[in-house]
Structure 1
Amino acid sequence: MERNNAWLTYSAQDMEGLERINSSYKACLDEGKTERECVAVAHRMAQEKGFKDLKDVIRSGEPLKAGDKVYAVCMDKSILLFHIGRKPLQEGMNILGAHIDSPRIDVKQNPLYENEELAYLDTHYYGGIKKYQWVTLPLALHGVVVKKDGTTIPIRIGEKDDDPVFAITDLLVHLAGKQLEKKANIVIEGEKLDLLIGSRPEKADETEDADKEEKAAAKDAVKSQIMKLLKESYNIEEEDFFSAELEIVPAGRARDCGLDRSMIMAYGQDDRVCAFTSLFAMLDVENLEKTACCILVDKEEIGSVGATGMHSRFFENTVAEIVALTEGESELKVRRALQNSKMLSSDVSAAYDPMFAEVFEKRSSAFFAKGLVFNKFTGSRGKSGSNDANAEYLAQIRQAMDKRNVAYQFAELGKVDAGGGGTIAYIMANYGMEVIDSGVAVLCMHAPWEITSKADVYEAYKGYMAFIEEM
Structure 2
Amino acid sequence: MTSVEHILDLRDFIEASPSSFHAAREAGRRLAAAGFTQLDEAAAWPVHGKFFMIRDGAVMAWIVPEDATTTTGFNILGAHTDSPSFKLKPKPTTGRFGWLQAGVEVYGGPLINSWLDRELQFAGRLVDRDGTETLVATGPLLRFPQLAIHLDRAVNDGLKLDKQYQMNPVWGQGDAGQADLLGLLADRAGVDAATIGGYDIIVADTQPGQVFGANNEFFAAGRMDNLTSVHAGLVALIAAADKPAANVIPVLAAFDHEEIGSGSRSGACGPILEDVLTRVSDGLGASVSDRRRAFSNSFCVSADAGHAVHPNYGERHDPANLPVLNGGPLLKINANQRYATDGVGAAVWAGLCEKAGAPYQEFVSNNNVPCGSTIGPLTATRLGIRTLDVGTPLLSMHSARELCGVDDPHHLALITGVFFTAAV
Q: What is the aligned counterpart of 1:192 among 143, 149, 166?
A: 166
Checking the alignment, whether the CA contact within 8 Å between 1:117 and 1:220 is kept in structure 2 is no
Q: CA separation in 2, counterparts of 1:384 and 1:113?
A: 45
Is 2:53 the partner of 1:72? Answer: yes
Checking the alignment, whether the CA contact within 8 Å between 1:125 and 1:190 is kept in structure 2 is no
Q: Which deviates the most, 444-453 or 257-266?
A: 257-266
**Structure number with larger C-alpha Rg:** 1
> What SS does structure 1 have at the residue aligned with 2:201?
strand
Q: Which runs of 5+ in 2 are unaligned?
A: none
Checking the alignment, whether the CA contact within 8 Å between 2:120 and 2:204 is kept in structure 1 is yes
- What is the CA deviation profile of residues 60-87 of structure 1, one whole-angstrom value per residue up to 9, with x for unaligned ones? x65x23xx11112212x11111112434
Aligned-pair CA distance for 1:388: 4.1
Q: TM-score, with normalisation over the residues of structure 2?
A: 0.91
Is 2:379 the partner of 1:428? Answer: yes
Q: Which deviates the most, 285-294 or 441-450?
A: 285-294
Is 2:404 the partner of 1:456? Answer: no
Q: CA separation in 2, counterparts of 1:463 and 1:26?
A: 20
Aligned-pair CA distance for 1:57: 11
> What SS does structure 1 have at the residue aligned with 2:52?
strand
Is 2:58 the partner of 1:100? Answer: no
Q: What does residue 53 of structure 1 align with? A: 38
Is 2:151 the partner of 1:175? Answer: yes
C-alpha distance 416-236 of structure 1, shift in aligned 2 (>3 A): farther
| Letter paired with 1:422 | S
Q: Which runs of 5+ in 1 are unaligned?
A: 1-15, 159-163, 202-218, 378-382
Is 2:352 the partner of 1:400? Answer: yes
Q: What does residue 204 of structure 1 align with? A: none
Q: What is the aligned counterpart of 1:314 among 267, 272, 288?
A: 272
Is 2:315 the partner of 1:375? Answer: no
Q: Which deviates the most, 334-343 or 286-295?
A: 334-343
- Equivalences for 1:72-471 in 2 at 5 Å? 72-75=53-56, 77-85=57-65, 86-158=67-139, 164-177=140-153, 184=159, 186-200=160-174, 220-221=177-178, 223=179, 234-237=190-193, 240=196, 243-285=198-240, 286-289=243-246, 290-326=248-284, 328-377=285-334, 383-384=335-336, 386-412=338-364, 414-430=365-381, 431-470=383-422, 471=424
C-alpha distance 238-190 of structure 1, shift in aligned 2 (>3 A): farther
C-alpha distance 427-235 of structure 1, shift in aligned 2 (>3 A): closer
Question: What is the RMSD of the two structures over their aligned residues, measured on CA atoms?
Answer: 2.4
C-alpha distance 391-227 of structure 1, shift in aligned 2 (>3 A): closer
| Letter paired with 1:298 | D
| Letter paired with 2:270 | S
Q: CA separation in 1, counterparts of 2:97 and 2:29?
A: 45
> What SS does structure 2 have at the residue aligned with 1:169?
coil
Count of residues paired in the alignment: 417
% identical equivalent positions: 19
C-alpha distance 284-252 of structure 1, shift in aligned 2 (>3 A): same
More helix by share: 1
Q: TM-score, with normalisation over the residues of structure 1?
A: 0.82
C-alpha distance 355-315 of structure 1, shift in aligned 2 (>3 A): same
> What SS does structure 2 have at the residue aligned with 1:96?
strand
Q: CA separation in 1, counterparts of 2:182 and 2:368?
A: 50
| Letter paired with 1:31 | A
